[in-house]
Structure 1
């Protein structure tokens, strides 16, 4: 009985650490452009970060119909901002990269599957 209670206490003490293990997932995803427009800038960062950081395309662009692979670290929730060739931007917040493998830019916004 004492051993069972001790094991239960050990498990409950470790429970707050469990979400940290989930963030060690495979975060590889494809960003696909199905918008009908050229993408000039791609930004994504952890949802905990208030800064978009650098344009992930750099000097490159992502033509309509093209895709690109990314693997950010660590896993967890990410926010996305896409800027098209006409200067218009779309955003999507709270994408769990541990649960998706494709982020798709469309004329209506950003979807994640």
Structure 2
């Protein structure tokens, strides 16, 4: 009886100390629905203070094209695109657990 009580308490403590967030599917698609080429794409967890590397690398994202990503961990992310003409768009605080598509248009960055 005592062992069962100790085991139950240990299990409950383990559950209570588990992270408050659940794992989620962080995969998403970036779709370029603008009329311009995206030369650079950046995204990072919101808690970070720099953009990090260009996620397209040597590639570009032409109008009408899309590319898939699966970052880790989940949570809120900030996005930035730089068009071929140098124009920049940003979208901050996107919950990757709730998003499957990030759409770039001439008016901004939308998520769904």
2:20 match: 18
TM-score, with structure 2 as normaliser = 0.84
SS at match of 1:98: helix
Give the alignment of 1:5-44 within 5 angstroms. Answer: 14=16, 17-19=19-21, 22=22, 24-44=23-43
1:51 Cα deviation (Å)? 1.0
- Cα distance in 1 for residues equivalent to 2:17 and 2:94: 23
Equivalence for 1:69: 68
Structure 2 partner of 1:101: 100
Q: Hey, what does 2:90 align to over in structure 1?
A: 91
Report the TM-score when normalising by structure 1. 0.83
Q: Give 1:18 deviation, angstroms.
A: 1.9
CA distance in structure 1 between the partners assigned to 2:37 and 2:102 by the alignment? 16
CA distance in 2, matches of 1:72, 1:58: 15
In structure 2, the residue matched to 1:111 is 110
- Give the equivalent residue in structure 1 for 2:80: 81
Secondary structure of 1:86 counterpart: coil
Counterpart for residue 56 of structure 1: 55
Q: Distance in 1 between matches of 2:71 and 2:35?
A: 26
1:46 maps to what in 2? Answer: 45
Unaligned runs of 5+ in 2: none
